[in-house]
Structure 1
């Protein structure tokens, strides 16, 4: 099988997740093509057997590149197995309101693009103060301090549960090869 893995990222963590996913799919013996959405706009997704799309949430929205790609390719994506990796810090916590917010963001995205992913996995992202501009660093420090009182606000921290993500990815791959 040939799987397309595409991503949009702000600080690089979603790219790390997408690369990891592509490597894992390749380890299952499948052919994989990895690209940022900005480089995939003219790509014929119909030549793939499935697609993994990954994007992070910032200020209540996914990156514009994902929305453009999904909107343009909604029909073809709807005809193949798809896995959407929605990356956010909210997915790292257990706050019910944060999870309802993730559902609202996803519903808004589906309405705006007319694409409904076959499977969605909410993936905990990373707190990366070393990558933030001064404005984002200020905002993110306040968010993290409010959620995790003893957090080191100057250190990068990866909240991704790689084992759980691997299990989700393996399950999706097993499901599509049946």
Structure 2
């Protein structure tokens, strides 16, 4: 199977998550192309059997480059199995208001792009203080403080549950494999 893993990143955590997904899929014998959506102009999606897309929420929206890619490729994406990895700090917690906000942001993204992912997984992100300028670091420390999170100034804090993400990717791939096997059996 040939898989596209396309991502948009702001501070680097989503790129790290996409690379983890690519390594996981390749480790299971899948052919994988890992691509930043900013480099996807003219990409022929018909070459791929399935796609994993990843983007992160910032200030209530996903990256503009990801939205442009999904909007322009929505027809092709709708014709293949897809998994959307929606990365956010809110996914690290259990606050019902935060989760309601995540679902609203995802619905707005789908409405704006015209693309509905086959499956969605909310993935906890990270505080990447090593990537922030002074003002963003101040704002992120304030957000952490409001949520009762202790962060050390200047030190990154990762919330991504790599084991859970690995299990989710494995389950998605197993679902693809069973569809391919069922399709081959019905064709014979």
Q: TM-score range by the shorter chain?
A: over 0.9
Aligned to 2:184: none
1:27-47 CA-to-partner distances (Å, cap 9, x unmatched) read 111100001000012101111
The answer on 1:70 being equivalent to 2:70 is yes
Using the TM superposition, give the Cα deviation of residue 149 of structure 1 relative to its aligned residue in structure 2, in angstroms: 4.5
The answer on 1:29 being equivalent to 2:29 is yes
1:1-178 maps to which residues of 2 (within 5 A)? 1-178=1-178
Aligned to 2:186: none
Question: Rg larger in 1 or in 2?
Answer: 2
Q: Secondary structure at the match of 1:61?
A: coil
TM-score between the two structures when normalised by the length of structure 2:
0.92
Q: Is the 8 A contact 2:141 2:151 kept in 1?
A: no
TM-score between the two structures when normalised by the length of structure 1:
0.97
Q: Is the 8 A contact 2:3 2:31 kept in 1?
A: yes
Change (3 A) 1:54 1:99: same
Q: Structure 1 unaligned runs (5+)?
A: none
Q: Is the 8 A contact 1:144 1:153 kept in 2?
A: no
Using the TM superposition, give the Cα deviation of residue 21 of structure 1 relative to its aligned residue in structure 2, in angstroms: 0.2
Q: How many aligned positions are there?
A: 178
